[in-house]
């Protein structure tokens, strides 16, 4: 058994939306394929992956460094003999040969994207859905029913409160019970008006989360906290710079409700610093580490170990990114749920065809690997890269 090729193509996932920090007019993603010489159901096993929105495609790093480290490693060193499949942990170590610690930035996206494809291939070779393989290997019961929430509420040229309300209404119509909108890209007064408009629209049918995308300094984060705490929000997300743990810790004094952060922390060491210094509260706050941006699932397993050491349940994790990889982690490892972008980043985000949101949850279909084969628009572009 061996990996015979690793391919990457950088694809646009552009849209005119804007959060408090960036617009998405030039956003891209790396689509990767890890081609094996294993055949299952009459077809060569190919593992696929892509990185989530917010960071750009990583074609340079993947093609110049990480691809060759996989292809040049002795094939037998990348195999898990006892399970008769690939060994993602050893492949991860091969990719990270001659990489110094620290400085987790674009590298973690490149490695994460490849790691996802490797887990997809590993589970396909084992002939199981990834969430079942993960549950088995960690000795827990898989739970195919996963909480999902609808993320959107972006700033958009010409978008007024009625368009924002209509957007949120459409998420409720599609079965969601929690919706999310952006803040911090307008004045506090304007954001307050937008929030009140959405709350009036969703009433008691759903809860609202708000996301500042790391925009605020301490003073602004506190001013928003004082405004936001009047409302029964699902969470207040990424108020300040993701690496400003002191800001996050100080905010707890002004915001008793749930807060969320972590989508821009890309390693278990960064996650550990957040838990050490960020004042996050394990009884109510949420952690949003996204495996596709942060060295993949091999690293996510280490992050979950860190959580355990600090007294956090995996159920406090609702990853950023809206992709099927995190759905599998949620179903297999007992996370609290996953993000979803009902109208954005297609064909990469979302669920396999036929999966519907009901009362804020989806049920994972029993598809081998991550389940990309069940999403027809996505598997089409994946098979164009390698089949
Ligand atoms: O707008 C973005 O960059 C995405 C984001 O923060 C989220 O989904 O939480
Ligand atoms: Mg966010």
At residue 105 the predicted structure's pLDDT band, cuts being 50, 70 and 90, is confident
At residue 79 the predicted structure's pLDDT band, cuts being 50, 70 and 90, is very high
Average pLDDT over residues 124-145: 98
Does the annotation mark 320 as catalytic?
Answer: yes
Residues near ligand 2 ion, CB 5 Å cutoff: 211
Residue 94's CB is within 10 A of a number of other CB atoms, namely: 18
Q: Is residue 142 part of a domain?
A: yes
Of 95, 127, 159, the position where a domain reaches its end is 127
Pocket test for ligand 1, best of 20, 26, 263, 350 (most atoms within 8 A of CB): 263
Active-site choice (104, 128, 320, 323) = 320
Give tens-digit pLDDT for 220-250: 999 999 999 999 999 999 999 999 999 999 9
For residues 93 and 164, membership in a common domain is answered with no
For residues 96 and 73, membership in a common domain is answered with yes
Q: Binding site for Mg(2+): residue ranges?
A: 211, 237, 263
Phi, psi of 33 (to 5 degrees): -135, 130
Average pLDDT over residues 152-160: 95
| Predicted interface score ipTM higher than 0.90 | yes
Check pLDDT > 90 for residue 182. Answer: yes
Of 71, 106, 127, the position where a domain reaches its end is 127
Structure tokens at 290: 């996204």
For residues 362 and 318, membership in a common domain is answered with yes
CATH number at residue 378: 3.20.20.120
Q: Say how many CA atoms lie within 13 Å of 330 toward its Cβ.
A: 30
For residues 313 and 337, membership in a common domain is answered with yes
Report the nearest-CA residue for atom 7 of ligand 1: 320
* Count of domains for the chain: 2
| pTM score above 0.80 | yes
For residues 364 and 287, membership in a common domain is answered with yes
Q: Which of 60, 103, 86, 82 is nearest to 298 (CA)?
A: 86
Q: Is residue 132 part of a domain?
A: no
Residue 67's CB is within 10 A of a number of other CB atoms, namely: 21
CATH number at residue 54: 3.30.390.10
Of 69, 103, 127, the position where a domain reaches its end is 127
For residues 116 and 200, membership in a common domain is answered with no
Q: What is the pLDDT of residue 316?
A: 98
Residue 279's CB is within 10 A of a number of other CB atoms, namely: 18
Average pLDDT over the chain, rounded to an integer: 97
For residues 43 and 177, membership in a common domain is answered with no
Structure tokens at 85: 């499949």
Give tens-digit pLDDT for 83-96: 999 999 999 999 99
For residues 280 and 373, membership in a common domain is answered with yes
Q: What is the pLDDT of residue 54?
A: 93
Look up the domain containing 75 and give its range: 3-127
Residues lining ligand 1, Cβ inside 6 A: 19, 54, 151, 211, 213, 263, 320, 339
For residues 168 and 249, membership in a common domain is answered with yes
């Amino acid at each position: 058994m061996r990996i015979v090729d690793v391919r990457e193509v950088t694809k646009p996932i552009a849209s005119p939306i804007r959060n408090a920090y960036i617009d998405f007019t030039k956003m891209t993603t790396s689509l990767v394929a890890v081609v094996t010489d294993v055949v299952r159901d009459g077809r060569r096993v190919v593992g696929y992956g892509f990185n989530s929105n917010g960071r750009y495609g990583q074609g340079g790093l993947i093609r110049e460094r990480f691809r060759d480290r996989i292809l040049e490693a002795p094939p037998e060193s990348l195999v898990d003999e006892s399970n008769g499949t690939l060994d993602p942990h050893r492949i991860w170590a091969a990719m990270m040969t001659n990489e110094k610690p620290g400085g987790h930035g674009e590298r973690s996206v490149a490695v994460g994207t490849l790691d996802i494809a490797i887990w997809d291939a590993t589970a396909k070779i084992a002939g199981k859905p990834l969430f079942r393989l993960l549950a088995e290997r960690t000795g827990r019961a898989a739970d195919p029913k996963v909480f999902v929430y609808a993320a959107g509420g972006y700033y958009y040229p010409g978008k007024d409160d009625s368009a924002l309300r209509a957007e949120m209404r459409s998420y409720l119509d599609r079965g969601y019970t929690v919706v999310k909108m952006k803040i911090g890209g307008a004045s506090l007064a304007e954001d307050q008006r937008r929030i009140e408009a959405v709350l009036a629209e969703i009433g008691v049918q759903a809860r609202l989360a708000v996301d500042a995308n790391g925009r605020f300094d301490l003073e602004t984060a506190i001013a928003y906290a004082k405004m936001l705490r009047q409302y029964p929000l699902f969470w207040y997300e990424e108020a300040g710079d993701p690496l400003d743990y002191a800001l996050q810790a100080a905010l707890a004094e002004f915001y008793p409700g749930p807060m969320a952060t972590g989508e821009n922390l890309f390693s278990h060491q960064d996650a550990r610093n957040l838990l050490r210094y960020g004042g996050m509260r394990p009884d109510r706050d949420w952690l949003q580490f996204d495996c596709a941006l942060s060295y993949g699932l091999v690293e996510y397993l280490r992050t979950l170990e860190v959580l355990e050491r600090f007294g956090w349940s995996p159920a406090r994790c609702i990853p950023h990114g809206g992709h099927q990889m995190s759905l599998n982690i949620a179903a297999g490892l007992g996370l609290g749920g996953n993000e979803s972008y009902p109208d954005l980043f297609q064909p990469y985000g979302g669920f396999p065809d036929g999966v519907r949101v009901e009362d804020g949850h989806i049920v994972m279909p029993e598809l081998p690997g991550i389940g990309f084969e069940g999403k027809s628009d996505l598997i089409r572009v994946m098979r164009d890269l390698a089949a």
